[in-house]
Amino acid sequence: MPLAKELRDSFENRALLYWHIYDELETELGPERAERTPDAVADRFLAASPDQGRLFPTEIVRRDGEVHIKVTSCPLKDAWAEADLHAQDLAAICRIAGRFDNGLFGACGIRFAADTWQPGGTGCCHLHLRP
């Protein structure tokens, strides 16, 4: 299969994942709450994680209506590290890839911030979802 087709298929799958998350939330919470509930958004996001969460293992902290997700391993970061990217280049590409999360969670109508991997850091990124 040509690379362009694989890439397009990947993004189409991602688009369907977004829709599935929103559709489930809307059914359970109604359209207004579906767009602004960090806990529910996090639950749906984590429930749809590839390979029952094994592809992107996480540690979750919930407090005061906020959800903080620490991604402990990421196949993207692993591939870049295996390709021997310099630490600053690895941090830059993680930051760029993390912008995807801004779109995903921002579209849900909640406050979102991501701390992507930095040299000397452990794991991958830390996602912060707030009302």
**Alpha carbons 124 and 119: distance in angstroms, whole number:** 11
Confidence of residue 68 (pLDDT cuts 50, 70, 90): very high
Q: What angle do CA 26, 68, 114 make, to 5 degrees?
A: 95
pLDDT of residue 19: 62
> Within its chain, how far is the Cα of 49 from the centroid?
9
Q: Does residue 34 register a pLDDT over 80?
A: no
Let me know: does 25 contact 36? Beta carbons within 8 Å. Answer: no
At 15 the pLDDT is 56
126 closest CA partner among 59, 62, 30: 59
Q: What is the pLDDT of residue 6?
A: 72
pLDDT surpasses 80 at 67? yes
* Residue-wise pLDDT tens digits, 3-29: 667 766 665 665 566 566 767 777 887
**Cβ 130 vs Cβ 38: under 8 Å:** yes
50 and 56 in contact (C-beta within 8 Å)? yes
- Higher-scoring residue by pLDDT: 22, 75: 75
E strand spans, the chain = 58-63, 66-71, 111-115, 126-130
Higher pLDDT, 42 or 107: 42
Q: Quote the CA–CA distance of 43 and 57 in Å, as a whole number.
A: 14
Residue 119: per-residue pLDDT:
94
pLDDT per residue over 90-128, tens digit each? 898 888 778 777 777 777 777 889 999 999 988 889 999
| Model confidence, pTM | 0.69
